[in-house]
Amino acid sequence: MGMVSEFKEFIARGNVVDLAVAVVIGGAFGQITTALVDGVITPVIGLALGRVDFSQLFISLDGNEYETLAAAQEAAAPVITYGAFIQTVLDFLLIAFVIFMMLRAYNRLKKKQEEAPAEEKPAEPSEEVVLLREIRDALRRPGA
């Protein structure tokens, strides 16, 4: 079997196709979640915290005071940008929370859909119940 035909067989497997679809959808879902966090949730949190922009928090290592991070970087001062780390951690936590809430809602909806058909269809009687009913019916017959 040639390499091309082996590759075609590999790609045609359901798992590979499912994985490819999941990666594409996951990327799109990640963009939606990031837009929600960056455009809606983060500004609300920033407003609640007094318009703090964590990405601009830094410590200058050369001993000088700078008004902004841009000014320190323009002066080529060595800086620790701990605010960028804080912002990245907050973004991660917010994105993880939003994904958790969306999956939670999805799982609840899925659970309701699975429970609905189960309630409509009555369970079939067990073999013991069927046998007991047959015995009962046989005893009720005249001449038994």
Segments making up each domain of the chain, as ranges = 1-52, 55-144
- Assess contact for 37 and 24: CB atoms under 8 A: no
Nearest to 37 by CA among 86, 92, 109, 110: 92
Which candidate, 86, 79, 48, 82, places its Cα nearest to that of 64? 79
pLDDT at 76 over 70: yes
Model confidence at 78, pLDDT cuts 50, 70, 90, reads: very high
Tell me the Cα Rg of the chain: 32
Which range has the top average pLDDT, 44-53, 80-89, 109-118? 80-89
Q: What is the mean pLDDT of the chain?
A: 84
Burial state string for 14-53 with b = 16 or more CB within 10 A and e = fewer than 16: eeeeeeeeeeeeeeeeeeebeeebeeebbeeeeeeeeeee
pLDDT at 61: 94
Among candidate residues 103, 62, 102, 100, the one with its CA nearest the CA of residue 80: 62
| Tens digits of residue pLDDT in 29-55 | 888 888 887 788 878 887 887 877 788
Torsion on CA atoms 84, 89, 91, 97, rounded to nearest 10: -170
The pLDDT value given to residue 1:
67
**Which of residues 85 and 17 earns the better pLDDT score?**
85
